[in-house]
Every structure is written in structure tokens, then in C-alpha cells.
């Protein structure tokens, strides 16, 4: 055999491999919808495009969001929330419907570039007490079967975004990595399934949470500046937690025979408020450090090469549960209104280090709700009014060393009242608090503490339709009334 005929198949093979791995480099973004006043999906998609984000990860399959993404070539990971796992686990029909409605339709009719389906979100988190242990794998199988049936299994891959707590290290070193003992067999079943179907392992890694939960965690080790004293794993040195954590997973996979399974970093990021370590400086330092760290494509000692990651998150979400901590509503690179929090070079554009904010944002009126100056601090109604406001709005920027941590008592109370007022679209009735509150046109913001003016509510398709119908109904009944009056007169 001549050298040419020997090399052509090799060369063709390489081309096939290369075209199969149309891997979009560059950072992805997590986009959630748990906000009281989300920006319109078209605005968000315009921001993603402006910042040259080529991949997004969603937590559900919101119709309006997917529709907006259909106008772009952005790669999409759609999500199945945990509360749908049990129905998808037990009913193949439900899985087929889900795939048909939330994947096929969008790919066929709206041209959405769906590449992954995330089955569940961190379903094995220890705080869920095992609620999703028996449903996750069957749901994964059914969704995969539904994708095959729909003829999409080559383009769309399944995965399960997992928290890094699904693995651990008995030695504290990456090389000691293995899956958590109480879910070891289940993890291997899932990993084998992913491997058999050419699907990736997805993991969320959070140095911030380590710092939040462990007061003795060495701060520098959370960052990428190389200032921490390194971890020596048999001559391999780890200078930051991200590398060590990812390699703990790499070892766990390798030890169990899946050393080549692709890994996606489903979430990585740093919050900016709600905790003493959640601030703009640390968030900027972490996210920029991460971007620079992965930009060379060097990877980790166990996984050399480019890292496929999605930043958490794109925009703040003020309706998220604060059960994990007050920082939970502040992970965004952008505030609720799409304004950038800090400078960040995402490496997507080589020209500048600025995040491009949303434009054409519609705010509500420039007015605020504050504690009435004439009310005394010892008024007996205040405590319950404040706790009502905070329970129903968002007071996570109040607290020790947070953005509004240095307000005085009056400022605290006003902050709570204003949050409730803005959340309720500045309705007059939302600034009463039994005579304790009043509206003002003077911005009460002070230093780092911003009293927000909410943006106008965006109505999704269904809600818009409802509004339209209500208006039509009103018109019809008004017309009816006129006809009725004309007739009786």
C-alpha cells in the first residue's frame, strides 16, 4: 500500500472527528428566569450576542426564551427541572411529549440550536435528602430514548448537571477522588450511560461556597492568582481550588474506567452581595481570574486542553430561594436591569474588558418608598411591617458587610419598604405599611447601597394573551352595555 492510500483514510478520519466535535470555544452563560421582573428575552439575547456569548444553559424550556434564541446561532442547553423527573421517569409518553414540545418543535420551527438536554439540576445534592435518587436515571434513559425516537440523538446530547458533592476524596488530594460512597453505584450507572451515548458529564464547581461554609478555608486558594500555598499531590501542585476539584472528578472518572468522558463545567461564578465574601471586588477577581486561567487552553494536570464552562450567571434573579444563603440572588454578571456590575474580559472579543449592558430598558417611574420621617423608631408596628416587606420582597442586600450593611436603622426600614414597593410595581397600596411609609422622588441610595427602581414588568406570550383577552372582553362588554342602553332608551 502506497503512503498516499495509507494516509488518506487517516486524514478523512481526522476530518470526521473534527467535524463531529464542532466544539464552540469560549465561555457560556447560565440564564435563569426566577426574577420578579425579568428582562424581555429579546433584550437578553441581544446582550448575549453583543458580548459574543455562543452558548447558553437554561434551567427549563421557557418558550419565549427559546423563541428569542431561535434568531441566533447560540448553542443551547435546555433544562428539565427536578420536579419533572418523576413523571419523566415513569412515563415514556411524557418524555416523548417533553422532547417533542421543548426540543423538536424549537429546532424545526424556530431554528433553535439545541445541543444538550440537562436532565434535572443538581438532583443528588445532599440537602435534597435523596428525593431524586430513584427518578434521575430512569428519566435520563427515557429522555435519551425520546431523543432517539425523534431522530435527534446525534445532535442533542443528554447530561445531568451535578454538584461537586457527588464526589469526594478520602485523602483530601485529587488523586484520592471517587464518587460519594452512598451513591457510588448509581453514579457509575449514569456515567456509563453518558459514555455509551456520547454525552458529557456536567459538574458545578463553587469555591465561593467552600469559603462560605468553612471559615478556615484559605481565601487565596479560591482565586487564581497563585498566592495560596499549593496542594502537593504526589509531585503535582495545585494552586487553586478549581483545578484540584476538577481533577478530583477526573480521578474519580479515571479510576472507574471513564477517564475520557468529556466534562462540562455547568456553573462557575461568584456572587456580589448578601455575604461578607460576596462583593464586587471578589467577584471580579474570581471571574476574571477564571477567564484568564482557561483562556490559554492549558486545562488541569489531569485534563490538559480547553475547558468547556458556563458562567453562573448572566443576570441576577430576585425571586430565587435564599435557602442556600442571602447571596443566592446576586450571582449575575449583570444586575436585574441588565447593567454591568464590573469590568470583565470574557475573552470573546479581543478589543475590550467591558461587559456590554442591556439597552432600551424600560424603568418604572423614578420614585421610592421610605419610612415616614415623622414616625419614631420605637413605633410598635415597625418590626412586623419590616419582616412582612422582607419576606415578600428582597432584603438580601442588608446584613453584615453587604452592600447596604452600613445603613442606620431608618435606612434599613426604608430599604425594606422600598423593595416591597418596587416589587409590587410601585402600587400606592404597596407603600402604606399602616401609615409608616411615604413615597419620595429623592433617591435614598447611599454609597454602595442602591435603592433600586424596578424595571417594567415583561409579560410572556401567555400573559400577554390573557391581557389582550381581558381588554377585548372589556371592549365587548362596554359595547354590549352601550347597545343595551340604546335599546332600553
Ligand X SMILES: *[C@@H]1O[C@H](CO)[C@@H](O)[C@H](O)[C@H]1NC(C)=O
Q: Which is nearer to ligand X, 39 or 398 (CB)?
A: 398
Measured from the CB atom, the residue of 131 and 189 that comes closer to ligand X is 131
Least Å from the CB of residue 86 to ligand X? 13
SS3 425: coil
**Which is closer to ligand X, CB of 95 or CB of 241?**
95
Q: Which is nearer to ligand X, 44 or 398 (CB)?
A: 398
Judged on CB neighbours under 10 Å (0-12, 13-18, 19+), 281 is exposed
Nearest-approach distance from CB 266 to ligand X, in angstroms: 17
- Per residue, the 3-state secondary structure of 451-472, as one string, reads CCCCECCCCCHHHHHHHHHHHH
In the DSSP assignment, the letter for residue 292 is H
Active site residues: 122, 267
CA 290 to chain centre: 17
Q: How far is CA 158 from CA 9, 77, 78, 168, 470, in A?
A: 31, 9, 10, 24, 41
Name the phi and psi angles at 310, rounded to 5: -120, 120
What number of other Cβ atoms are within 10 A of residue 71's Cβ?
Answer: 14
Least Å from the CB of residue 193 to ligand X: 21
Residues ≥6 apart with Cβ < 8 Å to 314: 29, 30, 31, 44, 47, 48, 53, 56, 332, 333, 334
**What is the smallest separation between the CB atom of 55 and ligand X, expressed in angstroms?**
19
The partner residues of 168 in beta bridges, in order of sequence, read 178
- Closest approach, Cβ 165 to ligand X, in A, equals 15
- Cell numbers describing residue 401: 458587610
Sign of the alpha-carbon dihedral angle for 461, 463, 466, 471? negative
Q: Where are the beta strands (DSSP E) in 59-211?
A: 75-80, 113-119, 157-159, 161-163, 167-169, 177-179, 201-204
Q: Which is nearer to ligand X, 97 or 255 (CB)?
A: 97
Site for ligand X, rule CB under 6 A: 60-62, 97-98, 101-102, 128-129, 131, 398-400, 408-409, 412
Selection from 204, 102, 195, 188 nearest residue 143 by Cα: 102
* CA pair distance 69, 65, nearest whole angstrom: 6
For residues 280 and 330, give the distance between their C-alpha atoms in angstroms, rounded to a whole number.
10
- What is the Cα Rg of the chain in Å? 26
Please state the separation of Cα 159 from the chain's center in Å. 16
Distance in Å, CB of 409 to ligand X, minimum: 4
How many degrees, rounded to 5, is the angle at CA 73 between CA 72 and CA 75?
120
Among all residues, whose Cβ is closest to ligand X? 60
Contacts of 40 (CB under 8 A, 6+ apart): 458
Amino acid at each position: 500500500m502506497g503512503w498516499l492510500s495509507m494516509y488518506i483514510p487517516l486524514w478523512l478520519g481526522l476530518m470526521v472527528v473534527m467535524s463531529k466535535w464542532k466544539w464552540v470555544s469560549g465561555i457560556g452563560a447560565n440564564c435563569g428566569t426566577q426574577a420578579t421582573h425579568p428582562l424581555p428575552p429579546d433584550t437578553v439575547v441581544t446582550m448575549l450576542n453583543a458580548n459574543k456569548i455562543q452558548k447558553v444553559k437554561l434551567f427549563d424550556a421557557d418558550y419565549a426564551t427559546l423563541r428569542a434564541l431561535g434568531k441566533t446561532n447560540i448553542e443551547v442547553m435546555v433544562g428539565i427541572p427536578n420536579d419533572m423527573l418523576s413523571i419523566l421517569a415513569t412515563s415514556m409518553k411524557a418524555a416523548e411529549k417533553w422532547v417533542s414540545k421543548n426540543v423538536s418543535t424549537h429546532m424545526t420551527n424556530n431554528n433553535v440550536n439545541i445541543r444538550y438536554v440537562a436532565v434535572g439540576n443538581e438532583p443528588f445534592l445532599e440537602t435534597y435528602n435523596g428525593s431524586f435518587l430513584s427518578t434521575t436515571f430512569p428519566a435520563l434513559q427515557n429522555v435519551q430514548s425520546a431523543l432517539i425516537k425523534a431522530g435527534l440523538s446525534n445532535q442533542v446530547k443528554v447530561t445531568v448537571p451535578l454538584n461537586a458533592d457527588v464526589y469526594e476524596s478520602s485523602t483530601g488530594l485529587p488523586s484520592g477522588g471517587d464518587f460519594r460512597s452512598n451513591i457510588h453505584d448509581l453514579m457509575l450507572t449514569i456515567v456509563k450511560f453518558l459514555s455509551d451515548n456520547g454525552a458529557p458529564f456536567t459538574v458545578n464547581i463553587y469555591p465561593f461556597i467552600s469559603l462560605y461554609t468553612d471559615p478556615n478555608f484559605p481565601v487565596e486558594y479560591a482565586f487564581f492568582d497563585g498566592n495560596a500555598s499549593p496542594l502537593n499531590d504526589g509531585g503535582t501542585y495545585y494552586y487553586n481550588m478549581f483545578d484540584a476539584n476538577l481533577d478530583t472528578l477526573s480521578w474519580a472518572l479515571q479510576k472507574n474506567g471513564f477517564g475520557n468522558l468529556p466534562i462540562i463545567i455547568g456553573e462557575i461564578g461568584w456572587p456580589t452581595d448578601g455575604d461578607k465574601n460576596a462583593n464586587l471586588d471578589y467577584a471580579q477577581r474570581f471571574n476574571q481570574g477564571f477567564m484568564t486561567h482557561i483562556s490559554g487552553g492549558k486545562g488541569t494536570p489531569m485534563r490538559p486542553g480547553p475547558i468547556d464552562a458556563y458562567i453562573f450567571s448572566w443576570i441576577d434573579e430576585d425571586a430565587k430561594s435564599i435557602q442556600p444563603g442571602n447571596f443566592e440572588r446576586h450571582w449575575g454578571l449583570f444586575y436585574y436591569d441588565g447593567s454591568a456590575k464590573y469590568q470583565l474580559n470574557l475573552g470573546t472579543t479581543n478589543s475590550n474588558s467591558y461587559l456590554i449592558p442591556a439597552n432600551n430598558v424600560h424603568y418604572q417611574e423614578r420614585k421610592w418608598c421610605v419610612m415616614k420621617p415623622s414616625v419614631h423608631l420605637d413605633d410598635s408596628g415597625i418590626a412586623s411591617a419590616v419582616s412582612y416587606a422582607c419576606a415578600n420582597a428582597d432584603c438580601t442586600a442588608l446584613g453584615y458587610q453587604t452592600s447596604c450593611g452600613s445603613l442606620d436603622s431608618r435606612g434599613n426600614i426604608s430599604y425594606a419598604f422600598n423593595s416591597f414597593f418596587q416589587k409590587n410595581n410601585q402600587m400606592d397600596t404597596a407603600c402604606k405599611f399602616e401609615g409608616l411609609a411615604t413615597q419620595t422622588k429623592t433617591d435614598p441610595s447611599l454609597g454602595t447601597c442602591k435603592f433600586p427602581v424596578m424595571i417594567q414588568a415583561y409579560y410572556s406570550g401567555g400573559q400577554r394573551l390573557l391581557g389582550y383577552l381581558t381588554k377585548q372582553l372589556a371592549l365587548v362588554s362596554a359595547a354590549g352595555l352601550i347597545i343595551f342602553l340604546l335599546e332600553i332608551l
